[in-house]
Chain A
Amino acid sequence: NAGVMQNPRHLVRRRGQEARLRCSPMKGHSHVYWYRQLPEEGLKFMVYLQKENIIDESGMPKERFSAEFPKEGPSILRIQQVVRGDSAAYFCASSPGTGSSYNSPLHFGNGTRLTVT
């Protein structure tokens, strides 16, 4: 019974390159959330997606960042032209998204640690 799967676990990019982070939600979950954790800080919400829809992107930087959750395949968080300040751990979480979903806990993956050199 696989949980939320993220890959890669570690990603190193040079400044100016693109970073692609992948997230496969738990089986039966149709809602995906992306969070960013800067060193020694808490988690900051970035974006909330359902299949083929962005529901809330209020936490996404206006430039260089994008996210998608296609009908088939994992959710992708894409960072173009990375800068050193993008170095962080990026966590994906999923939920069933049915009923009183607001009190259903999110299930988190182990994260992708992005290092920009």
Chain B
Amino acid sequence: GNSVTQMEGPVTLSEEAFLTINCTYTATGYPSLFWYVQYPGEGLQLLLKATKADDKGSNKGFEATYRKETTSFHLEKGSVQVSDSAVYFCALSDQAAGNKLTFGGGTRVLVKP
């Protein structure tokens, strides 16, 4: 079956630091990959996505590249802000599972001023 593994948090950073959150996956087919962000007390918002190998998703300064050879989709941001404090979820869906998303366990990020 499908699974997603992401680094455990919490990750604590200073403002303007570089952020990396590792994500690897296992899938039977050719999945689409997503990063979602959850701010306190809210639902999940799509941050970025990539639908095929070597695609790069980007949004709000965040980037992630779909690496089929390493089955990874690591999230990066060059200079974080306090407002980036949130929980980040890596997820995948594949055609065999319809549009059902399989999520990683989430990584809490705390950015200090």
Contact = CB atoms under 8 A, between A and B. Distances in A.
A91 B36 CA distance: 14
A102 B32 contact: yes
A95 B100 contact: no
B103 interface: yes
Contact of A105 (B34, B98, B100, B104): B34
Interface string B36-47: 100001111110
Contacts, number: 66
B70 interface: no
Contacts of B36: 108
Interface residues of B, number: 25
B73 interface: no
B99 A43 contact: no
B105 A42 contact: yes
Contacts of A33: 99-101
